[in-house]
């Protein structure tokens, strides 16, 4: 099934954010169905559906849930990751605004399946508007007894609370998110132990992205078989692709996985502004390796296809750059971001991100040397894989890929200055 009309995350239904409308459209039926199922059967169904995390890592959601201990004496927790912060990503806020009950319903089903008694939605501090919208929706769901004691007439009780962050990109990393929620500095934790063993306050915890959980109700309602037919089988479902940058019609598009990157840019996002040529694309948020515009023919937007193309699906945040874009200048901005957001725990990341920014700035100012390009590459290679969390990799990939695919632009900046100086 490559039906591009399937839209279950952001269907065009007016006022869907109101619980009455959501219920009228069949909302909370999946929860009723789930509550009549055995928790393990729900996890099995989600495993079978191949639902993969939408926060960037594509980890199988059902498998993650199955890591939670069964007969834990300690309370179990679910954290909903609404700390949307990867540059180029602006999809979760669409769910919070237009379909918050899908998130709530998914959270409830996940909580029931794992035996969670409290779920916390960790939302980025700047999303004040969306936090209030979500709080309103949660209040509606409490009033209708979908959340709280003995939900929907069952024996199961659960609470959902919203927790507001305070401006730190790193808190979107799951272990940092838990530390932040505990009232600590947002430092990532060393793994293992993994959150399912030692999470919030040392208790079993699962962290899922907003979009991941919002996928759960349709899987339970229609079954894994149905879900597997949407998009690519190894990475099924729809994705919320956010297209930004030099396109005529930027925005969030809900389409099946595996859609052509060229279709996304030219068909859905209306093509490049002012009829310019495409120079480069960052396909999944700022940390994913940059692709040359002349290399994206036939590239599909799913986990495996993008790895094959030399990048990553990440969060599905596609950043489009036209022929006039100054790649070293863009890279400087990206590197500045990761330098700013590095939490400072690991030396390679803390020092390396600063060095990378400094070297790229030097090249952009016309003060660079040819050796700088290799030093830059060397620093990136020594950050990658040598840090507690993925921020180090996220900082290294853009640098490595920009040098590999646009080396000429860096060299031109260096040579140009030498000519002027001579």
Partner 1 sequence: MLNETRREQLDKIIKRYPYKQAALLPALHLVQEQEGYITKEAMQYIADYLEIPYGHVLGVVTFYTMFYDKPMGRHHIQVCTNISCQLLGSETLVSHISKECGIKPGETSEDGTFTLSEVECLGSCGTAPMMQINDDYYENLTVENVEAILKSLK
Determine the Cα–Cα distance for residues 142 and 333; give it in Å rounded to an integer. 44
Determine the Cα–Cα distance for residues 325 and 246; give it in Å rounded to an integer. 9
Cβ proximity to partner 1, 334 vs 383, nearer residue: 334
| Paired tokens of 36 | 């009549």
| Paired tokens of 316 | 């599905």
At residue 25's C-alpha, the angle toward residues 21 and 26, to 5°, is 120
Phi-psi region at 26: left, alpha or beta (left = phi > 0; alpha = psi -120 to 50): left
Cβ proximity to partner 1, 159 vs 411, nearer residue: 159
Q: How far is the CB of 78 from partner 1 (least distance, A)?
A: 14
Residues that bind partner 1 (CB under 8 A): 75, 84-90, 92-93, 118, 120, 124-129, 159, 161, 163-169, 180-186, 201, 242-246, 250-252, 282, 286, 317, 319, 321, 325, 330, 333-334, 337, 340-341, 343
Q: How far is the CB of 146 from partner 1 (least distance, A)?
A: 18
Give CB contacts under 8 A, 24+ apart, made by 96-99. 96/123, 96/127, 96/130, 96/133, 96/134, 96/210, 97/17, 97/129, 97/130, 97/133, 98/10, 98/16, 98/17, 99/9, 99/10, 99/11, 99/16, 99/17, 99/22, 99/214
Q: How far is the CB of 229 from partner 1 (least distance, A)?
A: 29
Q: How far is the CB of 317 from partner 1 (least distance, A)?
A: 7
Cβ proximity to partner 1, 340 vs 407, nearer residue: 340
DSSP one-letter code for 158: B
Q: How far is the CB of 330 from partner 1 (least distance, A)?
A: 6
Cβ proximity to partner 1, 223 vs 344, nearer residue: 344
DSSP one-letter code for 189: P
Return the SS3 of 372: helix
Q: How far is the CB of 294 from partner 1 (least distance, A)?
A: 19
**Buried-exposed string 129-144: b where 16+ CB fall within 10 A, e elsewhere:** ebbebbeebbebbeee
CB atoms within 10 A of CB 67: 13
Q: How far is the CB of 273 from partner 1 (least distance, A)?
A: 9
Q: How far is the CB of 319 from partner 1 (least distance, A)?
A: 6
Cβ proximity to partner 1, 219 vs 282, nearer residue: 282
Residue 294: alpha-carbon gap to chain centroid = 26
DSSP of 345-364: -SHHHHHHHHHHHHHHHHHH
Cβ proximity to partner 1, 220 vs 321, nearer residue: 321
Q: Which parts of 246-308 are beta strand (E)?
A: 251-256, 259-260, 278-282, 291-292, 300-301
Q: How far is the CB of 87 from partner 1 (least distance, A)?
A: 4
Cβ proximity to partner 1, 70 vs 185, nearer residue: 185
Cβ proximity to partner 1, 1 vs 128, nearer residue: 128
Q: Which residue has the tokens 């695919």?
A: 405
Cβ proximity to partner 1, 43 vs 334, nearer residue: 334
């Amino acid at each position: 099934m490559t039906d591009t009309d399937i839209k279950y995350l952001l269907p065009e239904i007016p006022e869907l954010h109101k619980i009455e409308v959501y219920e009228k459209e069949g909302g909370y039926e999946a929860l009723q169905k789930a509550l009549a199922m055995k928790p393990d059967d729900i996890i099995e169904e989600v495993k079978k559906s191949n639902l993969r995390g939408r926060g960037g890592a594509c980890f199988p959601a059902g498998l993650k849930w199955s890591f939670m201990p069964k007969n834990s004496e300690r309370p179990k927790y679910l954290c909903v990751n609404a700390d949307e912060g990867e540059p180029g990503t602006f999809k979760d806020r669409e769910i919070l605004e237009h379909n918050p009950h899908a998130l709530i319903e998914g959270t409830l089903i996940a909580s029931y399946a794992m035996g969670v008694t409290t779920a916390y939605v960790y939302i980025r501090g700047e999303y004040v508007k969306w936090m209030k919208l979500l709080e309103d929706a949660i209040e509606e769901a409490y009033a209708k007894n979908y959340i709280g004691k003995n939900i929907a007439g069952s024996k199961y009780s659960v609470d959902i609370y919203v927790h507001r962050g305070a401006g730190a990109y790193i808190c979107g990393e799951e272990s940092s998110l838990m530390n932040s929620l505990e009232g600590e500095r947002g430092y990532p934790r060393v793994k293992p132990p993994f959150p399912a063993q030692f999470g919030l306050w040392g208790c079993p915890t699962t962290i899922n992205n907003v979009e991941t959980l919002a996928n759960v109700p349709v899987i339970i309602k229609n079954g894994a078989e149905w879900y597997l037919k949407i998009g690519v089988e190894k990475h099924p479902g729809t994705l919320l692709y956010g297209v930004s940058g030099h396109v005529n019609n930027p925005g969030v598009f809900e389409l099946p996985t595996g859609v052509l990157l060229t279709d996304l840019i030219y068909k859905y996002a209306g093509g490049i502004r002012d009829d310019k040529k495409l120079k480069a694309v960052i396909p999944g948020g700022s940390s994913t390796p940059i692709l040359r515009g002349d290399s994206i023919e036939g590239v599909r937007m799913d986990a495996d296809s993008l790895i094959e193309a030399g990048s990553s699906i990440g969060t599905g945040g596609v950043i489009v750059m036209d022929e006039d874009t100054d790649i070293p200048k863009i890279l400087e901005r990206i590197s500045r971001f990761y330098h700013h957001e590095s939490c400072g725990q690991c030396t390679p990341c803390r020092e390396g991100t600063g060095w990378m920014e400094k070297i790229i700035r030097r090249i952009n100012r016309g003060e660079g040397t040819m050796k700088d390009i290799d030093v830059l590459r060397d620093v990136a290679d020594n950050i990658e894989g040598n840090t507690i969390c993925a921020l180090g990799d996220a900082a290294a990939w853009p640098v490595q890929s920009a040098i590999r695919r646009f080396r000429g632009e860096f060299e031109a900046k260096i040579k140009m200055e030498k000519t002027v100086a001579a």
